[in-house]
């Protein structure tokens, strides 16, 4: 477990004294100024805890911790200061998200006690992150892999959506990007209750009747209901509900929400779903963006700008390679639909290769039901 502590103080005597005291329990790094401290964070991190003085030349402790939060948001931050006034404390808490504010000089036993508490807080933060990123995401991924094996036309869309949504979240620097990823992976879960003939017409881009359209739209509500009772997925479930909602307030669900009042995840889903609908027809990414621009009031302009930038990179950033099934690597994107020798679609164009899908293809290959090589997209 990470027990690394970064001490930042312009008083070298204090740094040396604290280092001698703490190094038996913690792995200690030191810096006598904020700029060098940030460089240490970049080169030697991650650190579990940062302890910094408030009064330092050029960059004070508040400024340093605000920058440090941007670099390593999970690191626990502690401020030491001889200026024990309320204004400094409030500013430090608001701008640097301080875990503790300690008066200087701080008794060694008190500092060690606070550091141990901070270490425990860091472990809790990292344990929660591991739960979200490995356990929860892994379970969702397995569920969708199995669902995709049963009905690739419905659930392979989640894989395509995931790639674009993750890229958009990265461009927008969304803090809890894992929620966006899970939302797109689970956005079609409500389709399990839609009659197959309606789904088939929708996938084949055939005109739905008004009644069929209303039935299809209910999958967003069903998805929300299925997810709303799962701990930590409350925000995701609301986003799934609003996946058809236009930025101007029109569309399902039929309520008064519009603009930024629509959940962020819902606004992202609306854009990536419409983009995927167009590109799945064979329309190039850049042309799909142009088509969407005909209805600019449908989309959040900030998210649309991120989609536009990402679509351009997709158009210019990949090459097509032909590989054997045994040479497929997780993360590759399919350049074509994969069909068996009866014409049944096993995987759809744009889908990301995962371990379970690769194993499925290997089985069909051994049975002589899939032609090789397979064309895939690889980053340049």
Structure confidence by residue, pLDDT tens digits, 258-298 = 999 999 999 999 999 999 889 888 888 888 988 998 998 99
Locate the domains of the chain by residue range. Answer: 4-125, 151-316, 317-380
Instruction: Give 299's pLDDT tier (boundaries 50, 70, 90).
Output: very high
Using the Cα atoms of residue 135, residue 228, residue 263 and residue 349 in order, give the sign of their dihedral. positive
Q: Could you identify the residue written with the tokens 């004070």? A: 60
Q: Could you identify the residue written with the tokens 């990123």? A: 133
| CATH architecture type of domain 4-125 | 3-Layer(aba) Sandwich (3.40)
Same fold, 4-125 and 317-380: no
pLDDT at site 95:
57
Class (C level, CATH) for 317-380: alpha beta
| Nearest residue to 239 (alpha-carbon basis) of 318, 333, 169 | 169
Can you identify the CATH homologous superfamily of domain 151-316? Hypothetical protein af1432 (1.10.3210.10)
Using alpha carbons, list the distances in angstroms from residue 262 to 170, 235, 243, 257, 258.
20, 12, 10, 6, 6
pLDDT at site 342:
80
Q: Which residues of 94-116 are buried (b: 16+ CB within 10 A; e: fewer)?
A: eebebbbbbebebeeeebbebbe
Task: Find the helix or strand (DSSP H, E) in which 136 lies.
Answer: none
Range with lowest mean pLDDT among 4-8, 131-135, 334-338 = 131-135
Contact 171, 306 (CB under 8 A): yes
Contact 224, 237 (CB under 8 A): yes
User: 313 pLDDT exceeds 80?
Assistant: no
What is the value of pTM for the model shown?
0.59
- What is the spatial distance between Cα 232 and Cα 283, in angstroms, rounded to a whole number? 37
Range with lowest mean pLDDT among 23-37, 197-211, 248-262, 330-344 = 330-344
**pLDDT tens digits, one per residue of 147-189:** 666 566 666 677 778 888 988 998 888 878 888 988 988 888 8
């Amino acid at each position: 477990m990470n027990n690394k502590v970064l001490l930042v103080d312009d008083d070298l005597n204090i740094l040396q004294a604290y280092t001698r005291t703490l190094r038996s329990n913690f792995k200690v790094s030191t810096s006598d100024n904020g700029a060098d401290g940030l460089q240490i964070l970049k080169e030697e991190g991650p650190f579990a805890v940062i302890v910094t003085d408030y009064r330092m030349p050029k960059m004070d402790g508040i400024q340093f911790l605000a920058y440090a939060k941007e670099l390593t948001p999970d690191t626990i931050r502690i401020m030491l200061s001889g200026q024990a006034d309320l204004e400094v404390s409030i500013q430090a808490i608001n701008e640097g998200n301080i875990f503790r504010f300690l008066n200087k000089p701080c008794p060694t036993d008190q500092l060690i006690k606070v550091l141990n508490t901070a270490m425990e807080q860091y472990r809790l933060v990292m344990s929660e992150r591991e739960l979200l990123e490995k356990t929860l995401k892994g379970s969702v991924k397995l569920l969708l892999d199995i669902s995709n094996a049963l009905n690739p036309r419905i659930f392979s869309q989640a894989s395509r959506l995931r790639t674009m949504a993750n890229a958009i979240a990265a461009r927008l620097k969304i803090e809890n990007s894992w929620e966006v990823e899970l939302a797109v992976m689970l956005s079609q879960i409500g389709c399990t209750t839609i009659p197959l003939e309606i789904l088939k017409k929708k996938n084949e881009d055939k005109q739905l009747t008004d009644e069929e359209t209303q039935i299809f739209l209910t999958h967003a509500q069903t998805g929300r209901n299925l997810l709303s009772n799962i701990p930590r997925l409350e925000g995701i479930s609301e986003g799934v509900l609003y996946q058809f909602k236009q930025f101007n307030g029109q569309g399902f669900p039929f309520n008064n929400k519009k603009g930024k009042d629509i959940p962020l995840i819902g606004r992202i889903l609306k854009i990536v779903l419409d983009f995927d609908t167009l590109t799945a027809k064979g329309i190039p990414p850049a042309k799909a963006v142009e088509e969407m621009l005909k209805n600019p009031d449908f989309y959040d302009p900030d998210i649309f700008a991120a989609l536009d930038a990402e679509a351009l990179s997709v158009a210019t950033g990949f090459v097509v390679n032909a590989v054997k099934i045994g040479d497929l690597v997780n993360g590759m994107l399919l350049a074509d639909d994969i069909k068996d020798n009866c014409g049944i679609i096993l995987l759809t164009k744009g889908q990301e290769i995962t371990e379970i899908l690769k194993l499925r293809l290997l089985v069909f290959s051994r049975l002589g039901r899939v032609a090789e090589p397979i064309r895939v997209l690889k980053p340049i």
